[in-house]
Amino acid sequence: MPATVILGAQWGDEGKGKLVDRMAEQATWVARFQGGNNAGHTVVLGEQVLKFHLLPSGITRKECHLVLGDGMVIDPWVLDKELTDWQASTGEDPRGDRLFISERSHIILPYHRYMDSLDTKIGTTGRGIGPTYADKINRIGLRFGDVAEVLGDDVWLTTTVDRMNASLDAAGSSDRVSMESMANDLQWIHETYTSSIGNTGLMLDNALKLGEHVILEGAQGCLLDIDQGTYPFVTSSVTSRGNASHGAGIHPGHVEDVVGITKAYITRVGHGAMPTELNDEVGEHMGTIGHEFGTTTGRPRRCGWFDAVVMRHAQRINGFTGLALTKLDVLGGLDELKICVAYELDGKEITELPSTASAIARCKPIYISMPGFPELPLSEWLAMALYANESRKGISVLPTAAQHYIAKLEAIVGVPCTSVGVGPDRDATIDCV
């Protein structure tokens, strides 16, 4: 079977974890290919709410092998905490059994978190992601496969600690790294993860050659892509389709389906312009009903109407073969629904996303309006989804206005919906037929 890529099509937080968890039932491998614990994926299984930052969302499917891929930056202490919590709740430690860490992935060290804590401009998560990627690009980073090579190398240790402390001093930080702490950290990382470090790209390539189904799980969203996002208010990695296979260590010919996940509205965390942002009762409704708080940071998410300009850009970059629409239920109870189809920029109408943050900040949304649909309790939405999938009636079970809204989004973006989420539960998703 070919690989399937699952990507965020907006500014992240679209519901990738829920979709990956659901699709992983039919998969043998789920691999993360970029980012680190600045991601937050939530999976709801009845009354149980699972939140992952590094572990692929396919971990809930015991038959799935899990990969932290070449393009990731990984905090070994955060990963250990997630694995410890998982073992406490399930009795399973997947390290070296079904969880594998790429020998090419880079390590987030305390130094990187110290540097990231100095950010006041971008609104990062402060998890050390950017500084680790910076060291990677500067070719001075530490990869998981390198740890065994530098253990006991006093020259490397001295040079690295001196460089880190000089950088902290120049940046105005009072934090420092000691030789002893660095040596101890390296030894702990080696002892904790040596059984799970390997050539994960080769593992995935072999699995695909054997006809196994691989899911490549993206983090963040297209508009946070370092190259194609709303720079400089972006993350530090390539979040889009072009990096999915590369960051996993396989060739792009393996990929056939690319699912773009988008909310029925739009949200954003952190700094940077968001043209359809709502600072009114409708935005409050979306935030309250949608429980719009960051999984990683807990920060309130900014909410706004669906932005087709953003989606048009995301589609051009990623070539989605299908859209997974999430949180349709959140719009229930609003009399009028709006869709941004263009911007007004300096008196001119435009339909494509500007490249500069200052231009985006001057954009005013141009809307079309559609009728809303009733608000329903989550139990009713869940029952509707279960019935829709059991009867294979798809979205025809939804309120008529909701069906029209979905059809309009499909027509504007030019991509069919493959599923529609109507609640946080794993089963509150309607397969489009």
Residue identified by tokens 């937050």 is 40
Distance from the Cα of residue 309 to its chain's centroid: 20
Task: Tell me whether residue 162 is one of the annotated catalytic residues.
Answer: no
DSSP state of 355: S
Looking at the DSSP bridge assignments, the partners of residue 322 are: 259
Of the candidates 13, 21, 75, 185, the residue annotated as catalytic is 13
Spot the catalytic one: 21, 41, 225, 285. 41
Q: Encode 214-253: b = buried (16+ Cβ within 10 Å), e = exposed.
A: bbbbbbbbbbbbbebbbeebbbbbbbbbbbbbbbbbbeee
Q: Which two tokens stand for residue 347?
A: 């008196």
Pair 421, 327: CB distance under 8 Å: yes
Q: Please confirm, yes or no, whether 271 is among the known catalytic residues.
A: no
Distance CA 430, CA 433 (A): 9
Report yes or no: 416 and 322 within 8 Å, Cβ to Cβ: yes
Instruction: Give, to the nearest 10 degrees, the angle between helix 76-90 and helix 179-193.
Output: 40
Q: Under DSSP, is residue 415 helix (H, G, I), strand (E, B) or coil?
A: coil
Q: At what angle do helices 154-171 and 179-193 cross, to 10 degrees?
A: 120
Bridge partner residues of 417 (DSSP): 323
- Say which residue the tokens 């954009």 belong to: 363
* Residues labelled as active-site residues: 13, 41
